[in-house]
Structure 1
Amino acid sequence: MTKSILKAHLALLGANLIYGVNYIIAKGIMPDKIGPNAFVFIRLLCATPLFWILKTFVIKEPVATKDYFRLILCGFLGAAANQLLFFHGINLTSPVDASIIMTVVPVLVLVFSAILLHERITRNKLIGISLGGIGAIALVLYGNETSGTSSLLGNLFVFLNATSYALYLVIVKPLMKKYNAVTVVSWVFLFGFLFTFPVGINDFMHTNYEAFTTGTYLTVGFVVLFTTFFAYLFNIYSLSHVSPSVTSSYIYLQPLISFIMVTIYANFFNQNQYAQDVNIVKICSGILVILGVYMVSRKAKVKI
């Protein structure tokens, strides 16, 4: 393994550790300290300038006029809708449920690729889509039948978030081939912020910042700096050195990290609301989703 490949794997490990921890950290201050709309507004308000500052120093390239519509659509799907749906979802449901549902993204990417890019779906991939879909839908519906912090509406929001993000990944693909990834992400976040502005500005202005504790500011800082800025950069770096299938395989870590974090919070920090968030139904649903993603991601054997 070369040095650059090793760094790419470390970057992927770092990004998915951040994402896995983020499920419970972001949920921890909502809605008592800040609402989902205001949280997303702050996230984009702070992260967008960071990407543009980086773009100014790293890469200076013009964008063709014909590509702006695609960038606007990517901003809506990949930054605004994606983040608003996720934060509203995690505000209402269990971090465990959310992390499992999000692993269905590679399956949804395959579905949208088949519809929009006319990519061929093999028998194994069709089986994978079915397994992943059954696992995700079962978990979404189960959110209304279980105790703990799960909820049907929250799970539905997270599933719609996964759908929005998967569609974004398919639509942004031609732009990633044409431009530097930092250029694309900078424009995506700028347009995403513009879409979020009318939704989040009122909540942002009416948030009671006097009630913020040091922990609240640290949480917001973690989400802006690590979950948004560094995690996106880690993923961009890894994509330039390893294949997308390797990148997507690291998503399996997120439910595991979420399970560990929920267990720690429930048993060591007396957060009793998380005590019943892990059970056999969720574990089985997670296995189905992960098995489905494996079937979708597996390369077909070449016959000689």
Structure 2
Amino acid sequence: MKNQYRVHAALFLVTLIYAGTYSLAKDLMPIYMKPFGIVTLRVLGASLFFAVAKQLAAPHDKIRGRADNLRAVLCGLIGIGMNQLLFFSGLNYTSPISASLLQTISPIVVVLASAVLLSEKITVPRLLGIGVGAAGAATLILSRPAQAALYPHATLGNVCILLNATFFGLYLVLVAPLMRKYHPFTVLGRIFLVGALLVVPFGWREALATDYAHFPPKIWAELFYMVFFLTILAYLLNNWALKYASPALLGVYIYLQPVLAVLIAVALGKDVFTWDKAGQAALIFVGVWLVSKKPKAGDPAPAGVLEAQD
């Protein structure tokens, strides 16, 4: 029973960390830091942490074989590098609520990727869910935000977030075999190193050009939040919780993330929740629910379908 409480606490904390990111990042971008500069610090910090953790926890564990090494490189490129560059770029242009709602389509991408890469069967409910979720995402991307003056490039931002969610969905399918075969720190250390090699050329100038001397304490705290809580702590807690949590429980926290993100954004005055957003959210939620429904016996759900977190 105690372990069950720990799992709930870990999943809720991870969900809260992700939900808060959409609003807190708005304080950093673009006044104090540019998106790629934040990503550079975030990925470099996590890469260093997981490299040290790997040496302490699993010094002799090593990714072996050409296929596994190529898979790890691909996971680092799309799951860390491209995923994070697109996320912070998109969040810089669009509203926190739009970004948080679009992020929830990752399970739909997992189902599609599993069908292509793992030959998983797409059932009729899942096919319907893909269509409904896609309709919700499309209307959200093309809609004019309530705060149009604040987000003149919202459509571009929404497209970036959609691509970010797509890459993360693919990453979940690709990384699952590595996580089952090797120590988590071995995998995370490798993929963050690869991600850093992609991110640094894009963001080192922005990171170095930042005027850190004029950061107020609040901005330093939020930057620390992005590097430690959002990257390191969230990955650690998520990987631990996924060992014990049921798919149904994971599904609850997928739906909880945008709800918390909306509450935080509205409470902090970063965004407003409108009726059209409610309708778009309903379409996306129904689509995710349909693709996440447990298939009939003999047709297992694709790995990671309910593990989508940023």
Q: Is TM (by shorter chain) over 0.5?
A: yes
Distance across 1 between alignment mates of 2:73 and 2:248: 26
1:248: Cα distance to partner? 4.4
**1:134-190 deviation line (CA, Å, top 9, x unaligned):** 111110111468636451011111001001101111111211121122221111111
Q: Is 1:95 aligned to residue 96 of structure 2?
A: yes
The amino acid that maps onto 2:281 is G
1:302: Cα distance to partner? 5.0
Q: What is the match of residue 105 of structure 1?
A: 106
Structure 1: give runs of 5+ residues left out of the alignment. Answer: none
Cα distance 1:194–1:89, how it changes in 2: closer, same or farther (>3 A)?
Answer: same
Q: Given the alignment, which residue of 248, 272, 289 partners 1:294?
A: 289
Q: Would the aligned equivalents of 2:146 and 2:274 in 1 still touch at CA under 8 Å?
A: no
1:243: Cα distance to partner? 3.6
Distance across 1 between alignment mates of 2:193 and 2:297: 43
Q: Is 1:240 aligned to residue 243 of structure 2?
A: yes
* Alignment size in residue pairs: 294
Q: Is 1:64 aligned to residue 59 of structure 2?
A: no
Q: What is the match of residue 19 of structure 1?
A: 18
How big is the alpha-carbon RMSD for the aligned residues of Structure 1 and Structure 2? 1.8
Cα distance 1:212–1:146, how it changes in 2: closer, same or farther (>3 A)?
Answer: closer
- Please show how residues 263-302 of structure 1 align to structure 2 within 5 Å: 263-266=266-269, 274=271, 277-301=272-296
SS across alignment from 1:70: helix
Identical aligned residues as a percent: 37
- Please show how residues 1-304 of structure 1 align to structure 2 within 5 Å: 2-60=1-59, 61-66=61-66, 67-143=68-144, 147=148, 149-150=150-151, 151-244=154-247, 246-266=249-269, 274=271, 277-301=272-296
Q: Would the aligned equivalents of 2:22 and 2:265 in 1 still touch at CA under 8 Å?
A: no
Runs of 4+ in 1 over 4 A off after TM superposition: 143-146
Distance across 1 between alignment mates of 2:139 and 2:97: 14
Greater displacement, 18-27 / 294-303: 294-303
TM-score normalised by structure 2 residue count: 0.90
1:236: Cα distance to partner? 0.2
Q: Would the aligned equivalents of 1:106 and 1:248 in 2 still touch at CA under 8 Å?
A: no
1:48: Cα distance to partner? 1.3
Structure 2: give runs of 5+ residues left out of the alignment. Answer: 299-310
Distance across 1 between alignment mates of 2:131 and 2:46: 37
SS across alignment from 1:62: coil
Distance across 1 between alignment mates of 2:178 and 2:252: 23
**1:200-231 deviation line (CA, Å, top 9, x unaligned):** 11111222222311111111101111111111
1:50: Cα distance to partner? 1.3
Greater displacement, 193-202 / 140-149: 140-149
The amino acid that maps onto 1:27 is K
1:300: Cα distance to partner? 3.0
SS across alignment from 1:31: coil
Cα distance 1:184–1:245, how it changes in 2: closer, same or farther (>3 A)?
Answer: farther
The amino acid that maps onto 2:16 is L
SS across alignment from 1:41: helix
Distance across 1 between alignment mates of 2:213 and 2:27: 18
TM-score normalised by structure 1 residue count: 0.92
Distance across 1 between alignment mates of 2:95 and 2:161: 10
The amino acid that maps onto 1:6 is Y
Distance across 2 between alignment mates of 1:165 and 1:97: 17
Cα distance 1:9–1:223, how it changes in 2: closer, same or farther (>3 A)?
Answer: same
